[in-house]
Amino acid sequence: MKQLKQQVYEANMDLPRYGLVTFTWGNVSAIDRERQLVVIKPSGVAYQNMNVEDMVTVNLRGEVVEGHYKPSSDTATHLELYRRYEQLGGIVHTHSTYATAWAQAGMPVPALGTTHADYFAGDILCTRALTGDEVNSEYECNTGKVIIETVGDVNPLYTPGIVVYQHGPFSWGKSADEAVHNAVVMEEVAKMAWIACSINPHIRPIDNYLLNKHFLRKHGPNAYYGQT
Amino acid sequence: MKQLKQQVYEANMDLPRYGLVTFTWGNVSAIDRERQLVVIKPSGVAYQNMNVEDMVTVNLRGEVVEGHYKPSSDTATHLELYRRYEQLGGIVHTHSTYATAWAQAGMPVPALGTTHADYFAGDILCTRALTGDEVNSEYECNTGKVIIETVGDVNPLYTPGIVVYQHGPFSWGKSADEAVHNAVVMEEVAKMAWIACSINPHIRPIDNYLLNKHFLRKHGPNAYYGQT
Amino acid sequence: MKQLKQQVYEANMDLPRYGLVTFTWGNVSAIDRERQLVVIKPSGVAYQNMNVEDMVTVNLRGEVVEGHYKPSSDTATHLELYRRYEQLGGIVHTHSTYATAWAQAGMPVPALGTTHADYFAGDILCTRALTGDEVNSEYECNTGKVIIETVGDVNPLYTPGIVVYQHGPFSWGKSADEAVHNAVVMEEVAKMAWIACSINPHIRPIDNYLLNKHFLRKHGPNAYYGQT
Amino acid sequence: MKQLKQQVYEANMDLPRYGLVTFTWGNVSAIDRERQLVVIKPSGVAYQNMNVEDMVTVNLRGEVVEGHYKPSSDTATHLELYRRYEQLGGIVHTHSTYATAWAQAGMPVPALGTTHADYFAGDILCTRALTGDEVNSEYECNTGKVIIETVGDVNPLYTPGIVVYQHGPFSWGKSADEAVHNAVVMEEVAKMAWIACSINPHIRPIDNYLLNKHFLRKHGPNAYYGQT
């Protein structure tokens, strides 16, 4: 677990480095699938004062197993996603400016170009609104449920992020580091999509064959981008 | 008072650090409620040349009690607010870009998401225009009065900031440090709200139950965000 | 002249520091009114390689009096303004992003708030288009003439800057340093005005009494902002 | 070739320095016309870990001549352009935010002011969409072909960049360094054009005589900008 705590700590510290968080508005977790334990940022602790030992370890029922702090208030959302999707190794939540603006607008971030298609095999979906009941009881858990309802039965790594209506972005990946990487991508494509739509209100979505080409150039069995 | 001067000095120096001010366009004050004394930035002094000893101490009638400089030209506005609202420990005024743009637009910054709701229990209100008479006589004092007229009889810590029509943002908190924190939040949610409205002109305000949930998750007797 | 060269050098170096220039897209000059000599940036020299000795001294007819480089290609514009307006001690030209966008839009930057009014006693005007003849013969000189035609017979320090149609901003002041200060202000209020107009297409200009109040609070015989 | 590898390495490292790339989203190449060899960035290697020796040398058929890495996945696009246009010494591809937004909008970046005209003798063109066949077979090569189809038979140095539909910008120059310079210019004028069009939806293109004046002031036989 020591290694995982180090990874989660470093991934959390990457959030301010990439300009994704103001104050404490974000958290990263990662899971050890063998031991069924999740390491996550403590709640409301400032990044500049945080160190590896402050990370909190919880089991999949949300009980603290190790750590002197309370875990992130969003822990239940992370756990819901880990329980549902075996493919996930790391999860990130932020209030990054542009992705959050799309969440507030209540609209998916449309796939408009190859930058988007290099990472997402379609639009970055926006969840429906939670009901009053869902918010008033087990809110964080229900946030996870509405993400799952929106993602559905596909492989979540094909569109490794989502915006939660009137809230903000969640992203994920095979590791904490990859989840942060995808959070950076979401923020950048959310910014580009806003500007592109502002330039051309009659903009067309990316041609499907171009989207597939770029996604598969980087992912899947015949990928040829990079050194592997 | 030495400690308060140190706090006010540091809070003022945080303004350029957070990118909230250009040149000398901002000021922070704090109050010692027991002694009824307010410490505030000197008028028109550049941040890079300023030190703790340059802070000015005034009483609630605005008379300088200590300090070799004139106090901020906005001192009368701060004092008006301290006299009216016992809850306030610190006040900030800036011309930060996005909050000022909403002030110029003459519109409240609408509550559109949880980022906003984590700090403000409703829209960030915009004052009415001052009349010619109010501007020509005791302008800074009247700026305080119109803020009070807009905030009304509620606890001002529930919406810890406002935009003054055609002027810019004021924010506040239990301390100088908290007031600066809220100034950063206002600027960020003002930016997000602009972009969200630009993405979706038919945007809906945040669902009321979601707003309450987030505000109360961080504030009030049953708060569960953070470590306390 | 050594002191003036130092001032002009430092004022030029401030342009990249304030984020006002990309590459070599800007220049600052200052005038010694007694000797009728102007010091200006050399043409097309990169800021990071420039030193005090590279500044070029010209007389008011544009002849190089001292310096091993050719003066800025915009020198004739600067000289035209110095000859017409005795009040000017320093002039700045940049292609800063937001002010240039207004120049390209062919519209004055409207006075919308007190940030603007603290420095400009009205809109930041936009010149008319130059004619083909004016561009094809003595272009830089005619750029100065069209600025003068637009500013007219008022004290140019009351609105210390302008945008030249389809080109970009010029600003000025009593010294090179003050001219750079005003270039920073123009860029910031140009950005704020764009955002404010985007938030509210039916925006109203700043109330006249508020504009006067703020301008005179900082300028003129009864100014009370700052320490003097 | 050692010198060229050094130049290509440094030009690649300039991309993150100028804020043009996120992660590995960009590449620079340069050609040695005598030896008919091209040096280019390796595919998917992070800038912070890259050194001169990692650059890859290929011949004009795309065969690796030297280097321990695979060349950029966009190599075929670069080669297509070098084969067609003898004037090109360096080529850059990025996903820089504003230029990419115009590519996604599917519109040329219009020539609106002198900042643009100092480098581009007309609009920055946008290619047509590639067909499904062109994407599914020899995609990168066809990207080069559609750029050539759009640029046509003119001297490509007169408009040293283009945006590829739903993809992003390519720029070029007489050297790798000049190509990077033009990539910075494209990004800046793309940003300015977006803002200017947002300020004034009825904006007019730059007057033709002003465009020619500025382009020729910096380029061509009678250029008088700079020190040569």
Q: What percent of chain B has pLDDT over 70?
A: 100
Read off the pLDDT band of B220 (50, 70, 90): confident
d(CA D105, CA D103): 5
Of D189, B28, B190, the residue nearest C192 (C-alpha): B190
pLDDT band of A53, cuts 50, 70, 90: very high
Question: Average pLDDT of D126-138?
Answer: 98
* pLDDT, averaged across chain A: 96
Query: Higher model confidence: residue A24 or residue A4?
Result: A4
pLDDT for B223 equals 83
| Euclidean distance between CA atoms A157 and D149, whole angstroms | 37
* pLDDT at C110 (0 to 100): 98
Which pLDDT score, from 0 to 100, does residue C223 have? Answer: 84
The label of the residue with tokens 């915006």 reads A163
- Full strand arrangement of the beta sheet holding D64-66: D64-66, D56-59, D37-40, D26-32, D90-94, D168-173, D161-164
β partners of residue A57: A39, A66
Q: Which residues of D touch C (CB under 8 A)?
A: 112-115, 181, 184-185, 188, 191-193, 195-200, 203-204, 206-207, 209-210, 213, 217, 224-227
pLDDT digits (tens, 9 = 90+) for B12-62: 999 999 999 999 999 999 999 999 999 999 998 999 999 999 999 999 999
Domain residue limits at A173: 2-110+125-180
**Residue B103: its chain C contacts at CB < 8 A?**
113
> With contact defined as beta carbons under 8 Å apart, do B70 and B42 qualify?
yes
C91 forms bridges with which residues in the sheet? C29, C172
Tell me the two tokens of residue D147. Answer: 């750029």
Q: Looking at residue D221, what is its pLDDT?
A: 83
What mean pLDDT do residues B83-104 have?
98
Residue C168 lies inside a defined structural domain of this protein: yes
CATH code at position C104: 3.40.225.10
Give contacts of C199 with chain B, Cβ < 8 Å.
101-102, 105, 107, 194, 197
Q: What is the pLDDT of residue A228?
A: 66
Residue C226 lies in a domain: no
Residues B52-72 have pLDDT tens digits of 999 999 999 999 999 999 999
Per DSSP, the residues of C88-129 read: -SEEEEE--HHHHHHHHHT--B---SHHHHTT-SS-B-BPPP
Alpha helices in chain C (DSSP H): 2-17, 75-84, 97-105, 114-117, 132-136, 139-151, 176-199, 208-218
Our CA-based measurement puts residue D139 at a distance from the nearest CA of chain A, in whole angstroms, of 9
Q: What residues of D are annotated to the active site?
A: 118, 225
Spatial contact of B1 and B57, defined as CB atoms under 8 Å apart: yes
Residue among A17, A96, A112, A115 with most chain D CBs within 10 A, to mutate? A115
Residue A14 lies in a domain: yes
Q: What is the model's pLDDT at position A33?
A: 98
- Testing the interface with A: which of B177, B199, B200, B218 to mutate, by most A Cβ within 10 A? B199
- C194–chain D nearest CA distance, Å: 6
Q: What is the 3-state secondary structure (H, E, C) of D4-66?
A: HHHHHHHHHHHHHHCCCCCCCCEEEEEEECCCCEEEECECCCCHHHCCHHHCEEEECCCCEEE
Question: pLDDT value at position B222?
Answer: 83
Residue A188 lies in a domain: no
Flag whether A222 is in a domain. no
In chain B, the residue whose alpha carbon lies closest to the alpha carbon of A74 is B225
Instruction: Kindly determine whether residue C23 and residue D184, on different chains, have CB atoms separated by under 8 Å.
Output: yes
Tokens 């990487």 -> residue: A181
Residue C228 has a pLDDT of 66
d(CA B36, CA B41): 17
- Stretch B181-210: mean pLDDT, rounded? 98
- pLDDT at A1 exceeding the cut of 90: no
Q: In the prediction, which pLDDT does C128 show?
A: 98
Cβ pairs bridging B and C (under 8 Å): 86
In a domain, B27, yes or no: yes
Does residue D204 sit within a domain?
A: yes
* CA–CA dist C90, C175 (Å, integer): 4
Q: Which residues of chain C have pLDDT under 70?
A: 228
**Residues A131-156: what's their mean pLDDT?**
98
pLDDT confidence band for D228 (50 / 70 / 90): low
- Dihedral sign (CA A62, A63, A68, A69): positive
Q: Which residues contact B197 (CB under 8 A, 6 or more apart)?
A: A105, B110, B112, B203, C199
DSSP per-residue codes, A85-115: -TT-SEEEEE--HHHHHHHHHT--B---SHH
The sign one gets for the Cα dihedral D26, D32, D37, D39 is: negative
Contact present, D68 and D55 (Cβ < 8 Å)? no
Instruction: Tell me the per-residue pLDDT of C48-95, one tens digit each, with 9 for 90 and over.
Output: 999 999 999 999 999 999 999 999 999 999 999 999 999 999 999 999
Residue B228: pLDDT above 80?
Answer: no
Q: What is the pLDDT of residue C148?
A: 98
Share of chain A above pLDDT 90, in %: 93
Cα distance from D95 to chain C (closest Cα, Å)? 19
The tokens describing A89, both together, are 């190794």
Closest CA to C32 of C10, C65, C54, C70: C65
The reply to whether D21 falls in a domain is yes
What's the domain count of chain C?
A: 1
Confidence of residue B221 (pLDDT cuts 50, 70, 90): confident
Which of the four pLDDT bands, split at 50, 70 and 90, describes residue A10?
very high
